[in-house]
Amino acid sequence: MEDNIKLGDPVFNKMMFVLDQPVTKDNFKDYKYDQYELAEISDGIWAMPAYMVEDDEFSLFFIITQIETGEEVIAFSTGENHDGNFALSEPMTTGAGLNLANEHDEKHAQSILHFINQISKAAEGDWRMIED
């Protein structure tokens, strides 16, 4: 694995943040970001805005869900408008979502990364490199 991977590096797209425990109805309030709170949008799938700014069409959402390996991860989706209906894009890795946010607003991307790193410092999850 490469050392010194940073936000904005193309290789950061391969980084996934894996939670040690699943998000549940009992602990979802522990994961507030800014003024936002997680909402269960489908069974076992939680979402929360990471970037939503008035007069800006770009939006990014945390998606917390279980992947095929059984691990609970923090991924991201963009908000999209389909014929006047709001929908979330296909989820992307944690790193890809952060890099996308970084391209749009570097300061806000740093804030999102800090939030995720606080989860890591609390020993509730870790960064992992995914395979192609």
**Does residue 56 belong to any structural domain of this protein?**
yes
Of 60-74, 75-89, 114-128, the one with minimum mean pLDDT is: 75-89
**Does residue 132 belong to any structural domain of this protein?**
no
**Does residue 2 belong to any structural domain of this protein?**
no
With a cut of 90, say whether residue 56 has pLDDT above it.
no
The pLDDT score that the predictor gives to residue 1 is: 44
With a cut of 80, say whether residue 2 has pLDDT above it.
no
The pLDDT score that the predictor gives to residue 4 is: 78
**Does residue 70 belong to any structural domain of this protein?**
yes
CA gap 49, 79 in Å, rounded:
9
What residue numbers bound the domain in which 45 lies?
A: 10-126
**Does residue 5 belong to any structural domain of this protein?**
no
**Does residue 48 belong to any structural domain of this protein?**
yes
Q: What is the 3-state secondary structure (H, E, C) of 20-52?
A: CCCCCCCCHHHHCECCECCEEEECCEEEEEEEE
Number of domains composing the chain: 1
Give the pLDDT mean for 74-81: 93
**Does residue 4 belong to any structural domain of this protein?**
no
Residue that wins the pLDDT comparison between 53 and 4: 53
